[in-house]
Structure 1
Amino acid sequence: MHIGFWTKTKSILKWAILGCTLTLALTWALLKTPILTPTLKIETLNFPGETSQLFYKKLSSYSEQNSAFAKLDSSRTTFQFRLPLYDDELRWDPLEKAGTFYLKSVSINLLAYRKSVSLDDVNPTFELQKGIRNNRTVFVAPPGSIDPQIRIRIDSEALDIARISVAFVLAVLITLATLIWVNWHTAILAFAEKDTLWIKQLKNALHKDQFSASEFIILFGIGIALNLIPVTSFFLSVDDEVGAYRTDPSAWISDGRWTAFLVEKFIFPLPVLPFAPNLFFYACLAISYMVILRAHNLKFNWATALAYCVFVAHPIWWFIGEFYSNLPSAGLGVMCLSIAVYITTRLNLSNQFNRTKILLMIIASLCLALAVGAYQSLIMFYMVIGIGSVIFAFKDKTTEQTALLESAFKRVSYLIAVFLAGLALYFLLNKIAKHFYPANYGYLDSFLRIDALITDPLLIFSLTFEEMFKIYTGSERAYGVAFFSSAVALGFSILFLVTQKTWVACLRMTLFICALLISPFLLHFVTGGAYLPLRSMLAISFISWMSVMVILQNKGALRIFGVALTSILIFQMITINGQYAASTILATTHDRLTAQAIYSRIAEVNPNFDRDTLASIDIYGKLSFVSRYPSPSSSTMSASFFDWDDGNANRMIRYMQLIGFQNLSVIHPTQRIELTPKFKDMPIWPAPGSVRLEDGVYLIKLSETPDPTHAQYKQTGL
């Protein structure tokens, strides 16, 4: 027994020495690798150049050898410099000439470690002046400057401690993983190669429901083919300029869309780009449809493939696809809610609750919470798919047995339970997100008008049903262009569904249909009947799909009729999307040409114009754009950056910066109001004299009607 104890002690001691040695060696090695090289991040605003230089040192003087150049990143606001060595002072040479820029923040970053540098420790040392303007720190290099310099003081000792701590923690984790692998790699490999119970159950479920890669490829191809223009084009819509410049996706948290935050943080950090977001979106829709079919006990065949064309080509998708930032999270959300419904419909109705059923309901609830976190109106999408699955499960039942009613009640109960649990999880996770990313939530609160429902419920119901009529009938007032076949398909599907074997079944189906049709419009009741943008009505695409699917399930002459009606509907949808594309193309072309012309005119009025020197701009009014093609009121497809918000100079200039005119900057609103009288005698764009240079500010007059900022001139009594 003594020998066994001594042997065990020696073994533990051997592994302990090995672990300590390996940990120390890894700590030393990690400190020498680029992984633990700290980065200095400098966030600026209106920076007048493309590159800048940082000098660093360690027990020496500054030299070109110990320096680095950095370009502004894709957001056009931030410099990042790696610090292979450092002491308490860094020297930043931001410019090589005169110029003005704002400094928003300076920080040291090292993996998950981030230490902010106080702007009080960022001070000019040569050819620069530091001040406060518009509540921001501003640096000004006066005319004649050739080598402006800034000193940045950092706590090098704290940074050293942070590097060593991070290196040690990583080394410990790597050492533990290594020792575990050496001792138990055989068991680990055996476990990894073995199908667990859950993997077996998942494989069996996928095999039982006949999921296949070929089905996904066909559906994905249909989605791409029917939406080829948005996939292969790059349309900059109003608000895309915000997404393109956004460096902090926590802005989504203020909208209660924490799933969108996660998607932009880890999948699409720069969401405003062509091709990739669209591909991701249509891949998600293809998976969603595969799951939706199984939730409705349907198989993939020519009829369901034809119906998918209605689903994926529905004009409603165009309204969410106008904003590249929305696409990835919306696609992921639709996929998650479809999985939630699928899991719920696969729950065994005859068994009592057990651990497996509870776990499946938790997974379904989490999927629904993720969907709502991507886009809140997707909760209504879940409702219509869930109601649709109930309709398809019981529409052909010919008996009124008690067991049938119990099954229907249980299925609806499971859907409601997942609905409530999913909402609870969403609010819980939203609360956590708000704790870590405090933000202003006025945007969401502005939609809620429950008091209007209480005050005049008849009016709210009237407004809501009027909106239902416009959307379900494919009215031009809703979509900008009419497509009557949508109403025809919906009407025939309702007729076929309510035609049941018994009056009781007919009444039950009527109730289901009413619930189905009202569900997408539930938000209208809590928003006081206010007009909601069509992008919040994505569930309408499912109802159109269900309409044609009900008709296509008939046989003989009715099936021929269904194919013809579906084909007409698809053709009309493709035509409408083509008109939407034309409207968007013309608007984007108009804005690009306008931006080029304005920039050229700015250069013409100043013989000494320098494209690398910051140009101060003030814009009066707006430039309206009228298209021959559709212009739905809830869409930006034919909207101009030079017209939106009744003339938003910041939006116009941000757009111009995005397409390459970087040296433009809008002056402060107070200055703009004071300059209002100078526009009085100016002609409007594009007449000669509509762009003028006065006192270093370029004045641009787009219309006689003032924009909201200049309209304040009369209100202030100046």
Structure 2
Amino acid sequence: MDTAQTILIRPSSIRAAINLFAIFVAMYFSELASFSLSIDEEVAAFRTDSSIWIAQGRWGAYLIERFLIPNPVMPLLAPAIFGAGCVAAYLLVMDTIDKHRLSIAEYACFTTFCAFPTWFFIVEFYSNIAAVGIGLAASAFAIWLISKNGSPADGRRFLVAVVAGGFAISIYQSFAPAILVLGIAVCVLQARAGIERSQPKDLIRVGGLVVGSAIFYAVGNAIFKSFISKRSEYFESLFQPGFFFQHPVVVTGRVLEAIGEALGLDRGAYGVILWAVPLLLILGVWTLFKELSRTRLLLLAAALVCLFIPFGVHVLAAGIMPLRSLVGLPIAVWLFVYLAVTSNNARISIVSAILLGVVIFQIQVIQNYRQASSYLVDKHDTLLAAAIYERLTAMPGFDARRAYALCVFGGLPFATNYPRPPSSTVGYSFFEWDGGNAWRITYYMKLLGYSNVNGPTDQQVDQTIVRLSTMPVWPALGSLEIQGDIVLIRLGEGPSYANQQALTRVANR
């Protein structure tokens, strides 16, 4: 009996799983050992209605939060579940190429599979990462079902694979291209390992799996959305397919720029230039070209396409998508790294192993930069929240038994010499995001125990906006005052977009 269950209980697989998880812990130690909140998690921590995921088309994430992890904003467990998903996915992929006992090279390559820096942009969100780990495991399981050598390719297995793939997409839509990348990677590695299969048919089967999974996801999405009336303006604003036809050159330029950034060729993306990554990609391409005998050009072309598939969504989004959406890119990079490090050419494998060591070191540098930024901004925000509340309690007329609405003008930026990637929230203060968002600030302060501060109503904002615009800027005396049950605080010189709207509303009356 050869099933996913027997893979996971096989003694060699258990040892491999323990070793792989230990590697994951080493790569993500700073994330596992800390609890630094990111922007949006102050809201997620108080969320009681998880249907927000359905509004974003992520009904699988809704099911996980509704029935498995009701409050995913927690330390250790959420990133650990992601790690378990990475381990399960890697073992399933290795099993498709009949690797039951992993070599040192295969363990080393796991670092790029689970910790290529694009992962960090989603790992920073506790509310997402556990579900994403489950989605990655489901994606690999779907590919395993249709690709495992020696298993019957019957309709039932394919239908189960479609369900698994569709569920992965329902957790995060970016798993659709990731499944395609993973399927192509398995086809390439099986051909290289000499496993007797029809590669063209396997590639067609992978394409059919992606289409079937997308249909299953779309049907489920329609069913779940029929029960709610919510919409996600942010999610809907991302997709602008018509923009490509109007400005194809602009979109193409943006996509190429995004590819360069994601592969680490621009310091702005990660704070470090990953110069060893393109060298490993070249060595992987050369290895594939030299070691494949049959269908060489087809599989080489398919492998190269893997590097571009994750950016397909960019074309539908005017060329601009956050780095965290590229869940298929670590798989594509891992494919070429694996090919290079396990090359039959001793010189290539040695050079590739050295380059992989450089990449692992650079990944740790990136991770530690992010950890330093998170630690310092957390200290900044904690102390600032305490200073604001201390100033508030010292104001005449303050009553600790009374609830106050907090009206904010402007934001207070956190200055740091550590990298703050534009696609990330790491290093950004709750008191500066959105130019100073009163609701984010009060949610954050509530998490710290300042329970008698709340966000304001539009009426309260309009009532105080003129006075706020004339107050001195924090921490000057007079930058905080109380008007009845409203607290006014000016954190910055410039108004936020919400402040501008309030000033316009008042001026038009």
Relative to the length of structure 2, the TM-score reads: 0.93
Higher RCO, Cα 8 Å, sep 6+? 2
Question: CA contact under 8 A between 1:623 and 1:642: conserved in structure 2?
Answer: yes
Q: How far does residue 207 in structure 1 lie from its aligned partner after superposition?
A: 8.9
Q: How far does residue 362 in structure 1 lie from its aligned partner after superposition?
A: 0.6
Aligned partner of 1:361 in structure 2 is 158
Which residues of 2 match residues 311-322 of structure 1 at below 5 A?
311-322=113-124
Structure 2: 5+ residue stretches without partners: none
What CA distance in whole angstroms lies between the structure 1 residues aligned with 2:147 and 2:2? 16
The count of residues paired between Structure 1 and Structure 2 equals 505
Of 382, 398, 423 in structure 2, the residue corresponding to residue 592 of structure 1 is 382
Q: How far does residue 533 in structure 1 lie from its aligned partner after superposition?
A: 0.8
Question: CA contact under 8 A between 2:264 and 2:270: conserved in structure 1?
Answer: no
Question: CA contact under 8 A between 2:191 and 2:292: conserved in structure 1?
Answer: no
- What secondary structure, in the 3-state scheme, does the structure 2 residue paired with 1:256 have? coil
Q: How far does residue 464 in structure 1 lie from its aligned partner after superposition?
A: 1.3
Question: CA contact under 8 A between 2:97 and 2:190: conserved in structure 1?
Answer: yes
Q: Deviations over 1:110-163 (max 9, x none)?
A: xxxxxxxxxxxxxxxxxxxxxxxxxxxxxxxxxxxxxxxxxxxxxxxxxxxxxx
Could you tell me which amino acid in structure 2 is paired with residue 235 of structure 1? S
Q: How far does residue 674 in structure 1 lie from its aligned partner after superposition?
A: 3.1
- What secondary structure, in the 3-state scheme, does the structure 1 residue paired with 2:154 have? helix
- What secondary structure, in the 3-state scheme, does the structure 2 residue paired with 1:710 have? helix
Aligned partner of 2:272 in structure 1 is 481
Structure 1: 5+ residue stretches without partners: 1-199, 398-402
Which residues of 2 match residues 458-473 of structure 1 at below 5 A?
458-473=249-264
Aligned partner of 2:216 in structure 1 is 425
Q: How far does residue 311 in structure 1 lie from its aligned partner after superposition?
A: 2.1
Question: CA contact under 8 A between 1:296 and 1:388: conserved in structure 2?
Answer: no
- What secondary structure, in the 3-state scheme, does the structure 1 residue paired with 2:482 have? strand
Of 442, 449, 474 in structure 2, the residue corresponding to residue 660 of structure 1 is 449
Of 298, 306, 309 in structure 1, the residue corresponding to residue 108 of structure 2 is 306
Q: Deviations over 1:539-585 (max 9, x none)?
A: 22122322221112124333222221111111111111011111111
Name the larger-Rg structure: 1
What CA distance in whole angstroms lies between the structure 2 residues aligned with 1:635 and 1:562? 30
Aligned partner of 1:241 in structure 2 is 42
Cα pair distance change 1:460/1:297, threshold 3 Å: farther
Aligned partner of 1:557 in structure 2 is 347
1:650 aligns with 2:439: yes
What CA distance in whole angstroms lies between the structure 2 residues aligned with 1:264 and 1:473? 33
Aligned partner of 1:685 in structure 2 is 474
What CA distance in whole angstroms lies between the structure 2 residues aligned with 1:666 and 1:598? 15
Could you tell me which amino acid in structure 1 is paired with residue 182 of structure 2? I
What CA distance in whole angstroms lies between the structure 1 residues aligned with 2:5 and 2:425? 46
Question: CA contact under 8 A between 1:498 and 1:509: conserved in structure 2?
Answer: no
Could you tell me which amino acid in structure 2 is paired with residue 308 of structure 1? F
What CA distance in whole angstroms lies between the structure 2 residues aligned with 1:549 and 1:710? 52
Which residues of 2 match residues 119-130 of structure 1 at below 5 A?
none
1:434 aligns with 2:236: no
Cα pair distance change 1:244/1:677, threshold 3 Å: same
- What secondary structure, in the 3-state scheme, does the structure 2 residue paired with 1:699 have? strand
What CA distance in whole angstroms lies between the structure 1 residues aligned with 2:274 and 2:292? 33
What CA distance in whole angstroms lies between the structure 1 residues aligned with 2:425 and 2:8? 44
Q: How far does residue 459 in structure 1 lie from its aligned partner after superposition?
A: 3.0
Cα pair distance change 1:461/1:612, threshold 3 Å: same
1:378 aligns with 2:175: yes
Of 445, 448, 459 in structure 2, the residue corresponding to residue 670 of structure 1 is 459
1:285 aligns with 2:285: no
What CA distance in whole angstroms lies between the structure 1 residues aligned with 2:242 and 2:470? 48
Of 529, 533, 540 in structure 1, the residue corresponding to residue 329 of structure 2 is 540
1:227 aligns with 2:33: no
Of 710, 713, 716 in structure 1, the residue corresponding to residue 499 of structure 2 is 710
- What secondary structure, in the 3-state scheme, does the structure 2 residue paired with 1:423 have? helix
Aligned partner of 1:295 in structure 2 is 96
Q: How far does residue 610 in structure 1 lie from its aligned partner after superposition?
A: 2.9
**Once superposed, what is the RMSD of the aligned Cα atoms?**
2.4
Of 372, 376, 380 in structure 2, the residue corresponding to residue 582 of structure 1 is 372
- What secondary structure, in the 3-state scheme, does the structure 2 residue paired with 1:591 have? helix
What CA distance in whole angstroms lies between the structure 2 residues aligned with 1:416 and 1:224? 34
Q: How far does residue 457 in structure 1 lie from its aligned partner after superposition?
A: 2.7
* More displaced 10-residue stretch of structure 1: 465-474 or 219-228: 465-474
Which residues of 2 match residues 694-705 of structure 1 at below 5 A?
694-705=483-494
Q: Deviations over 1:351-409 (max 9, x none)?
A: 8xxxx710000111111011001111011111111111122223477xxxxx98x8112
Aligned partner of 1:513 in structure 2 is 303
Identity of matched residues, %: 28
1:391 aligns with 2:188: yes
Could you tell me which amino acid in structure 1 is paired with residue 111 of structure 2? C
Cα pair distance change 1:408/1:627, threshold 3 Å: same
Of 638, 641, 644 in structure 1, the residue corresponding to residue 427 of structure 2 is 638
Runs of 4 or more consecutive aligned structure 1 residues displaced over 4 Å after TM superposition? 207-211
Question: CA contact under 8 A between 1:340 and 1:363: conserved in structure 2?
Answer: yes
Could you tell me which amino acid in structure 2 is paired with residue 546 of structure 1? L
Q: How far does residue 691 in structure 1 lie from its aligned partner after superposition?
A: 1.1
1:218 aligns with 2:218: no
Could you tell me which amino acid in structure 2 is paired with residue 277 of structure 1? A
What CA distance in whole angstroms lies between the structure 2 residues aligned with 1:238 and 1:619? 17
Aligned partner of 1:72 in structure 2 is none
Relative to the length of structure 1, the TM-score reads: 0.67
1:324 aligns with 2:123: no
Aligned partner of 1:451 in structure 2 is 242
Question: CA contact under 8 A between 1:388 and 1:546: conserved in structure 2?
Answer: yes
Which residues of 2 match residues 179-194 of structure 1 at below 5 A?
none
Could you tell me which amino acid in structure 2 is paired with residue 344 of structure 1? I
Q: Deviations over 1:183-209 (max 9, x none)?
A: xxxxxxxxxxxxxxxxx4538963998
Q: How far does residue 276 in structure 1 lie from its aligned partner after superposition?
A: 1.3
Q: Deviations over 1:585-627 (max 9, x none)?
A: 1111111111111000111113x53323212322111111122
- What secondary structure, in the 3-state scheme, does the structure 1 residue paired with 2:307 have? helix
